[in-house]
Structure 1
Amino acid sequence: MALLTRFTCRAQPLQRCICQTRLFGNGTAALLQSSEKTAPQSRFFPICEQPMLLPGSFKNKVAFITGGGTGLGKGMTTTLSSLGAECVIASRSLDVLKQTAEEISKKTGNKVHAVQCNVRDPASVKAAVDQVVNDVGLPDVVINNAAGNFISPTERLSANAWKTITDIVLNGTALVTLDIGKRLIKAEKGAAFLAITTIYAESGSGFVVPSASAKAGVDALCKSLAAEWGRYGMRFNVIQPGPIKTKGAFSRLDPTGKFEETMTDRIPVGRLGTAGEIANLAAYLCSDYASWVSGAVIRMDGGEYVLMSGEFNEMRAVTKEQWDVMEDLIRKTKGS
C-alpha cells in the first residue's frame, strides 16, 4: 500500500519503530486519511504501529479475543500473535474468522485459532470456551472487544434495538468474563482481562444511547472485578478509544461521511487513531510489564475528550487581534 509520508520516531521503544501517516492499517482493510482530513499539527504526532514490546513477550501465552475477525480485534490479534501469543479469535462469522486466522498466521508464523461464538448466548459462550480449553488450555489474556452500535434518535429505537446492543456489549462481555473467570478460579490460574469501550462511556452521548449505557456498564464491571478478583490472580483494565476508522464501524456511525469531514477539528493532535496504536496499548496492558496495572480506564483519543469537555476550549478560534481587543477591555473593567 502506498504511504503518504514516512517519519522516523524520535522515541526509543523496545523495538525500532517506523512511524508513518498511514491510517487504519494493522490488519484491517486499508483505509487512508487524506491530507484534507488531517490538521497541520498532525505532523508532530506520527503514527507508530510496529509492536513496541520485545519479541517473545507473549511466548507460551494464550490470548482469547472476541470480535477478533475484523477491525480493532484483528489489529490486536495481529500484534499479540507477532509477540508470540497463541491467539484464539471468536465471533459469529466463522468464515471471516478462518480467513483472518489464516492471514495472521501466515504473517506472524504463530498459530491462530478460529472459534465461532455468539456472545449474547450463554450456551454459545460456554461451547466456545470449552473448545478453547480443549484446544489450547485456559487463556492467559482475555480481550472483550465484540461490539454493536448504530446511530439513531433515541425516540426511534425499538425495544429489540436496545436489547441487541446491550446484549452484545454489556451482557456479552459479562458472559465471557464470568464463564472464563469461574474456570480460572477453579484452576487457580491468573489472567489479564481487557475491555474495549469508548470515551462516551464516561461522558454519555445522544444518538448512541444503548451503546453509551452498555459501555458504561462494561467500565463498571471491569473496575468492580479488579477489586474483587485480584485475589484470584486476575487483572481487569479498559481502553476507551476515540475515533478510529474501521469499515464496519463507520458504515453504521457515519453512513454519509459528513461527520468524518469535521472529526479532526475535535481532536487536538489533528488526526484519527489507528488500530495499530490501540493494539500496542492493549499488548502492554495485557503483558507482564503491566502486572501492577489493574482497574485502570485509559482514554486513547488524541485529546478529544478534554477538548469537548472544557467550557472555554472553543476560544482557540479567537485570533491574536481579537485577543488584543479583549485584553484591553478586560484591563479597563472596574476592579480588575
Structure 2
Amino acid sequence: MAEAAMAARVPPDEDGDECLPQYRHLLSPDLLAGQVAFITGGGSGIGFRIAELFMRHGCRTVIASRNLQRVSEASKKLVAATGQQCLPLSIDVRQPQTIAAAVDEALQEFKRIDILINGAAGNFLCPASALSFNAFKTVIDIDTMGTFNTSKVLFEKYFRDHGGIIVNITATLSYRGQALQVHAGAAKAAIGGKSAEQSNQFSVIPLQRAGNKTEIAHSALYLASPLSSYVTGTTLVVDGGSWLTSPNSFSALLDVWAAGANQPH
C-alpha cells in the first residue's frame, strides 16, 4: 500500500523530447502569466520540460542552443501543446557575441525577459583517465563560462535596469538568484537511465528511484515563481534524499559508464 501511494505521487513524464500528453496543474495556471523566460539548452532534456511547464503556467519562452533545427522542432511541439509563444534561437554560450545577438532578438520580439534558465551543459560520465583534455575544457567552457557569459549578457542588456531571476542548471545543480547575484541554490537532480537502474544505483536512495524531468522542472518552476520570493542563499536539493545516504561508489559509477560506453551510438 505504501509503495502504491508513493508511486501515485510521482508526476508523469515522457521519454525523449516530447510534451506531456496530459498535465495536471498543481499550481495556478497563470503563475507566470505575462512573463518571458530565456532558456539555454531548452530544446532537449530537462530544459525542454522546464520550457513546457513554464509555458503551461502562462510564460512565453525563448529556447536557445547551438542546434537551430532542434530548438525549432522543439518550439513547434511546445506551442502545439501549450498554446503559448516560443521563439527558437541559435546560440553558443561559449561565444558572448552570439548570446548578445539572441538576447537582442528576444527583446525585439517580446520587449522583456524576466527569467533566465542556464540549462546548456556538456557532460561526460567516465573516469578521469578516459576524459581527454579537450573534453574537460568543453565541460568547463559550457557549464561554467557559458553560465557566466549568458548571465552577464542578460544583466547588461536587461536585468540591471529591470531586475530578473537567474536559475543555473547543470546535470546536477541549479541555483536561483536576482540579477547577477546567483543566490538561491540548487535543485540537485537524480536523473538516471536503464544502466543505472540495472546496476542497482537506486537502492541507496531513500525514495528508491531516480527523479524524472517533470520533477526537476517543477523545482525550477518554484524557483522562478513568486512562491520563492524570499528564498536566497540556500540549496534546494532534489535527489530523493540520496545526498543524505549515498556514498560515492566509484565502482558503481564505472559500471554505469561501461554500460553506456558499450552501447552502439
Cα distance, 1:267 vs structure 2: 1.2
Cα distance, 1:272 vs structure 2: 1.1
1:193 paired with 2:166, answer yes
Please name the residue that 1:323 is paired with: none
| Correspondence list, 1:266-277, <5 A | 266-277=204-215
Distance 1:53 1:22, change over 3 A: closer
Stretches of 4+ aligned residues off by more than 4 angstroms = 18-24, 232-236
1:114 paired with 2:88, answer yes
Cα distance, 1:20 vs structure 2: 6.2
d(CA) in 2 for partners of 1:158 and 1:27? 28
| Correspondence list, 1:167-316, <5 A | 167-186=141-160, 188-197=161-170, 226=177, 236-245=183-192, 257-261=194-198, 262-309=200-247
Q: Which 5+ residue runs of structure 1 have no aligned equivalent?
A: 1-6, 10-17, 31-48, 200-214, 251-256, 311-336
Distance 1:103 1:185, change over 3 A: closer
Cα distance, 1:184 vs structure 2: 2.7
1:90 paired with 2:64, answer yes
Cα distance, 1:83 vs structure 2: 0.5
Q: Which 5+ residue runs of structure 2 have no aligned equivalent?
A: 249-265
Letter paired with 1:189: H
Cα pair 2:186 2:237 within 8 Å, conserved: yes
Please name the residue that 2:14 is paired with: 25
Cα pair 2:187 2:219 within 8 Å, conserved: no
Letter paired with 1:74: F
Cα distance, 1:190 vs structure 2: 1.2
Cα distance, 1:271 vs structure 2: 1.2
| One of 120, 137, 141 as aligned partner of 1:163 | 137
Q: Percent identity?
A: 29
1:171 aligns to what SS in structure 2?
Answer: helix
Distance 1:74 1:27, change over 3 A: farther
CA deviation vs aligned residue, 1:258-297 (integer Å, no higher than 9, x gap): 4331121121111111111111111111011211112332
Please name the residue that 1:204 is paired with: none
| One of 71, 76, 97 as aligned partner of 1:123 | 97
1:88 aligns to what SS in structure 2?
Answer: strand
Cα distance, 1:300 vs structure 2: 0.3
Distance 1:50 1:263, change over 3 A: farther
Larger Rg: 1
CA deviation vs aligned residue, 1:60-104 (integer Å, no higher than 9, x gap): 100111100111001111100011001110111111111111111
TM value normalised by structure 1 = 0.65
1:60 paired with 2:39, answer no
Letter paired with 2:165: A
Cα distance, 1:234 vs structure 2: 6.6
Higher relative contact order (CA 8 A, sep 6+): 1
Cα pair 1:87 1:111 within 8 Å, conserved: yes
Cα pair 2:18 2:77 within 8 Å, conserved: no
Cα pair 1:28 1:70 within 8 Å, conserved: yes
CA RMSD of aligned residues (A): 2.9
How many equivalent pairs are there?
Answer: 242
d(CA) in 2 for partners of 1:179 and 1:298? 26
Cα pair 1:146 1:169 within 8 Å, conserved: yes
Cα distance, 1:165 vs structure 2: 0.7
TM value normalised by structure 2 = 0.81
d(CA) in 2 for partners of 1:101 and 1:115? 10
Letter paired with 2:14: G
Distance 1:65 1:19, change over 3 A: farther
Cα distance, 1:243 vs structure 2: 2.5
